[in-house]
Amino acid sequence: MKKVALIGYGAIARIALDKIAEHDQDGQINVVGVLVRENREQEARAALDSSIAVVTTIKDLIQLSPNVIAECAGQGAIAEYGEAVLRSGIDLIVISTGALADDALREKLTSICTRNSARLLMPSGAIAGIDGMNSLQIGGLKSVRYTSTKPPMAWQGTPADENFDLGKINERTELFTGPAREAARLYPKNANLAATVALAGLGMDDTEIQLVADPTIAPNNVGRIDAEGEFGMLTVECRGMPAPDNPKTSATTALSLAHAILKDTRTIIM
């Protein structure tokens, strides 16, 4: 049986837990605990099955002895808890991959992984084609562009809110074009996929990111990869519904987390 714990209990965690329960017909996944802030403890206890422990410290979460811990709490959680998880020899699933745009943090965590036989695992999130990108990268990538398009109001609370009147955007409008490192830094709640695509391909400084507001694609969030390598080209576009409680996040991000947890229990792994 695979023992799983989560950091955070927001929209992504709730969807992922529901889908794990739905698809784990043989009972091979045991969700042992969830880490939340103290002010969210009572809410989480009321919502979760009594078999799932609700804790408020990473030490208590680790003491539940999970095989893997999934981060569902934002980039700050990687910096705050990642080291403790990996030093314990526990694999860490990273949803908020934008945190790894920080070279010093990424190098520290990967070094800890090497010394403690732990791994950083990154689901594809709300995009497809990462496997194809990995293949092209081995053969020699020349260029990668990732474009994230969302309805204008999904960009509220970001730098775009300061530079554009989001409520008045009525046509496709480019909000940002630049390297993945800058996109992940400026848009931490919107552009984690920028970091995922960069880590799968040309890196943080050589992966071009476009962030776009477009009212015509509502209610979807749209992610697109355009990559070219010595052995071919890759174009992938995904249209996903936003998470019910968080329009900045695609619901497929939660589905990719559920898949990452479930797939090791399968006989055929893809």
Domain assignment present for residue 212? The answer is yes
Together in a domain, 114 and 142: no
**Is the pLDDT assigned to residue 240 strictly greater than 90?**
no
The whole-chain average pLDDT of the chain stands at: 93
On whether both 245 and 152 belong to a single domain, the answer is: yes
177 and 89 in one domain?
no
Q: Which of 56, 11, 67, 15 is nearest to 34 (CA)?
A: 56
Residue ending a domain, among 122, 142, 165, is 122
Look up the CATH number of the domain holding residue 232: 3.30.360.10
- With a CB cutoff of 8 Å and minimum separation 6, the contacts of 114 are none
Q: Are strands 221-229 and 141-150 parallel, antiparallel or unpaired?
A: antiparallel
Is there a single domain that holds both residue 201 and residue 220?
A: yes
Q: Which domain holds residue 56?
A: 2-122
The reported pLDDT for the residue numbered 248 is: 66
Same domain for 156 and 187, yes or no, is yes
How many domains does the chain fold into?
2
Report if residue 8 sits inside a domain: yes
**Residue ending a domain, choose from 122, 141, 169:** 122
**Same domain for 137 and 116:** no
To the nearest whole percent, how much of the chain has pLDDT over 90? 79
Cα(32)–Cα(121) distance, rounded to whole angstroms? 19
Q: What is the pLDDT of residues 131-164, one digit of tens each?
A: 998 899 999 999 999 999 999 998 999 999 999 9
Q: What is the pLDDT of residues 244-266, one digit of tens each?
A: 777 667 788 999 999 999 998 88
